[in-house]
Structure 1
């Protein structure tokens, strides 16, 4: 029989995302509801190694539901990549009487949780927190919805100045390996073209699209570019290409960068984080381990951590078609 869980640790790791604090709050309060202890681990796996723990109860997490970032901080840990570092982390957990660990982060964070379980049979559950929405096993990761709202708001503001000056704006958004932010925000923001890693549209199509837009009467254009798009080396190279090949355009570049990670989480992300925290704690109490909690068809479901790490999300082909129709 699995060991009875009496104390649960929670940490955040990797890049921060809106909703992480909401998830921390949910974990702490679910533990309190079930009359078990909860400890927050500061600075991710680095804090796990150093034993940087702090008890958390229902009152200690008040006022963080609407806060961006993570009160537990996040840090990369080279030492945790070593067996010696992981042994020290395990000893820190054991010495603190922690029986299970909830890791909030992305695939790199989950990889750390998985190896900790494999080496020491320590119970772990993952909560997907990343704005890129690139984790297999959930339709939405924590922070994705908030990031979309942030990007759309920025597009709306940039369009105001683009229209005033008859300019073409390349707007770069996050998405090194996937184009979920670019595709969704591009449609919502009325972009004339959307460039994503999954679809190599090519420079010729870009020029053709911009020419078509000009001939149809559009005096300004917005092109959304995921940072991992394969057409050019970077968004500034795209600007240079258009400058050289389309004389009528006054081209500007706006890189939204890390502003996409910040800000108060949306209603959707707050509710999602609350649901995920409850599911994560109760899964550990039920003796489950090596799973990630995720949203599937509106319900909280478990996906094996290994599948979440190795699986690939797919771009919504319907949204690609919608994008083409809307940009006419």
Structure 2
């Protein structure tokens, strides 16, 4: 983590990995904070693919007007197998030099940060990461950009499913995103009053799942909701339904997979503010001479975390919330 004073006059900014609501708010903050500091900005379209293939566009304050409320990313995102190679990263570095870019701000998750860290170490490029992923699995920040929006989108959908589950006395298995972490599944299950939540962080005992559901049905709870993270070891909601359907053949069981609906839509106020804070902070820490770091917010205060630490492990879920979910069933 370098802290040598760097005369940053031109910044590049890109979004990479899965899109998340609030990325546009972060881009806007980077561009406008840079303008306040007399720093030029190039937007790089299609993430690392565009970095290698010279998709650079000059940006100014007008470029980011009327985007703070939009989901997705105006800079787009794409995969780049070439960036995984040393020759690909060399091309990327040459393009940054071609445009006179002194530093690079990358908006994304751990895969994005891993690439940025390699680029910085191999070619001595100043980089700062802004955590944006609906999974909320990056350490060094209480929340990542997009998490709150995805959470509220999932909750809105589950509330609607609850209405029809109650009307028809059905059991619904609702699958939410979370391949490696269960943050969305856990918090939506608590907020929606779901009867059960299955998470990647906990071993799923099918016998225990059946026992709990039978117990609920004995209590005349004819409708029930089970929230399943896609990364749960059962294999998601469809596989879970296959494993328990014979025991509940007399009940109307349905599976609903929310999927990519959780990525889209207008970001919440909380995500817009978080993204704005982190975008401005990224410019600030670059001007102060920091590199190979990620900016985050912990206990409402800005925090800098080395990229090597941010990518070293996944954020742990709050087990107190798991205990609460069990109490409130």
Deviates more, 1:209-218 or 1:123-132: 209-218
1:47 is the counterpart of 2:39: no
User: What are the equivalent positions in structure 2 for 1:143-158 lying under 5 Å apart?
Assistant: 143-158=146-161
1:199 is the counterpart of 2:202: yes
What is the TM-score with the length of structure 2 in the denominator?
0.97
Match of 1:276 in 2: 278
Select 1:322's aligned residue among 317, 321, 324.
324
Select 2:101's aligned residue among 98, 101, 111.
98
Match of 2:218 in 1: 215
Question: What is the deviation of 1:2?
Answer: 4.2
Q: Matched residue of 2:62: which SS?
A: coil
Contact 2:228 2:236 in 1 (8 A): no
Question: What is the deviation of 1:277?
Answer: 0.5
Select 1:235's aligned residue among 220, 234, 237.
237
Select 2:288's aligned residue among 286, 299, 310.
286
Q: Matched residue of 1:14: which SS?
A: coil
| Contiguous gaps of at least 5 residues in structure 1 | none
Question: What is the deviation of 1:237?
Answer: 2.1
Question: What is the deviation of 1:111?
Answer: 0.6
Match of 1:141 in 2: 144
Match of 2:260 in 1: 258
- Poorly superposed stretches of 4+, deviation over 6 Å: none
Q: What is the Cα-based RMSD across aligned positions, in Å?
A: 0.9
CA distance in 1, matches of 2:240, 2:101: 52
User: What are the equivalent positions in structure 2 for 1:70-219 lying under 5 Å apart?
Assistant: 70-219=73-222
Question: What is the deviation of 1:317?
Answer: 1.1
CA distance in 2, matches of 1:209, 1:41: 51
Deviates more, 1:251-260 or 1:50-59: 50-59
What is the TM-score with the length of structure 1 in the denominator?
0.98
Name the count of aligned residue pairs.
326
1:216-237 C-alpha deviation (Å, 9 max, x unpaired)? 221100000000101x233212
CA distance in 1, matches of 2:213, 2:236: 18
1:66 is the counterpart of 2:69: yes
